[in-house]
Chains A and B, each alone.
Chain A
């Protein structure tokens, strides 16, 4: 962003992240920063490590080495032996609870209604009483355009509706950062629009977001910063207009050409 306000709070900082699955090195020294209100889009061919990177942010995958800071507090850090060490469980949980996640496969709880999906974590994890959180949950459902589906089960909804419920469910925990792992990749093309619209609205409300996506239109229009990854490394990054308009690297150019 031109006027990227470096005074804004640093929400997420990753430094020199390395991660291997067995012999396969999937992340080879990744650095990134996300400030409050920014929308970071991560693009790249499949197998580039972008989903793994996202999953490292909230510890669904653990890093081998490097440093992760959430809102200025360390979540994991390389110690003297060169291995990443995570902070103690209680602090870790507190840091992780500031992040919500939306998955490619929605992962709604099939045995609970839409409203039940939203209420579950606030009641079980935060210990809120139903009447303390239900009005907010209903507000969120309204926001994602599903207030009339509160009592439906996930199986009764379309993929696009399910993903919007998943977004509302994550928001119901009032996260500071939202992580999206290819949120539209499992959807029929005609259903991606409604999910992207919801995400655009979130971005417009200055929600801090990290989005792994194949939707170049979304990355171009809604992201404040785009990061192109290939083979576990960041090849190129910058403002969307620059990265999409004048890619500097050959690898980026050929990827973007293939996507269009």
Chain B
């Protein structure tokens, strides 16, 4: 019983890295994704093309490869980042690309008539985006963003290849040392409870922002 508690506490410690990567990635990737979406939809062709290229690369290569690249390849050209920063850089760039596509689809799904109505009422483009378009986009992207967010919880486990002691790596270490499978079950319970909280939170958000829908 005491051993179980020890295992639990060790893993709680490991979940710290997991949560840190999770929250910091979300915090940075959501606004960055919105900027990228606006850039992608920009009438400046060059900007739109550059963002498209960025999204293609980020979605077209494995996140694992991106992590390894930032961690091992960048130092070779003289860019040396602390472990956690390297992992975060890869996560943020990767997730911002996915969020960008979600936001782009959301923005494009708002009917043209909304822009026209705002325009005939004299609203400027920034006013239209802020007051009319984005609140509707926000509601529409909640389900896909929720999906990506849950993916992120699980993707954080990829940092184990960078020798960072996240939840999964701690679990594996104990399993190998003690030859006991319980840590894997506990890890699963940790991930499941994080996902549970997220699912519940997004459900609340959807209900709140969906109150205008019949």
A96 CB-CB contact with B under 8 Å: yes
Asked whether A110 and B212 contact (CB < 8 A) given A97-B122, A124-B127, A125-B127, the answer is yes
User: Does A60 contact B136, Cβ atoms closer than 8 Å?
Assistant: no
User: What size tier do the contact residues of chain B reach?
Assistant: 20 to 34
Query: Which of A103, A111, A121, A169 interacts with B139 by CB under 8 Å?
Result: A111
Q: Which residues, 157 to 214 on B, are CB-close (under 8 Å) to A?
A: 209, 211-214
Q: Which residues of B contact A140 (CB under 8 A)?
A: none
User: Does A155 contact B132, Cβ atoms closer than 8 Å?
Assistant: no
Q: Which residues of A contact B118 (CB under 8 A)?
A: 109, 121
A218 CB-CB contact with B under 8 Å: no
Count of chain A residues near B, Cβ 8 A:
28
Query: Which of A105, A107, A110 interacts with B136 by CB under 8 Å?
Result: A110
**What's the least CB distance linking B185 to chain A, in Å?**
44
User: Does A124 contact B111, Cβ atoms closer than 8 Å?
Assistant: no
Tell me the interface secondary structure of chain B in the complex.
helix
**What's the least CB distance linking B214 to chain A, in Å?**
4
Asked whether A121 and B136 contact (CB < 8 A) given A107-B111, A155-B213, A155-B214, the answer is no
**What's the least CB distance linking B58 to chain A, in Å?**
31
B135 CB-CB contact with A under 8 Å: yes
Give A residues with C-beta under 8 Å from B.
58, 60, 93, 96-97, 99-101, 103, 105, 107-112, 120-121, 124-125, 153-156, 166, 169-170, 173
Give B residues with C-beta under 8 Å from A.
111, 113-114, 116-123, 127, 131-132, 135-136, 139, 209, 211-214
In order of increasing CB-CB distance, the 8 nearest A-B pairs are A121-B121, A107-B117, A107-B113, A153-B212, A101-B120, A155-B214, A125-B122, A97-B122
A60-B116, A107-B116, A153-B214 provided; 12 other pairs, C-beta below 8 A? A60-B120, A96-B122, A97-B122, A105-B113, A110-B136, A111-B135, A120-B132, A121-B122, A124-B123, A125-B121, A125-B122, A154-B212
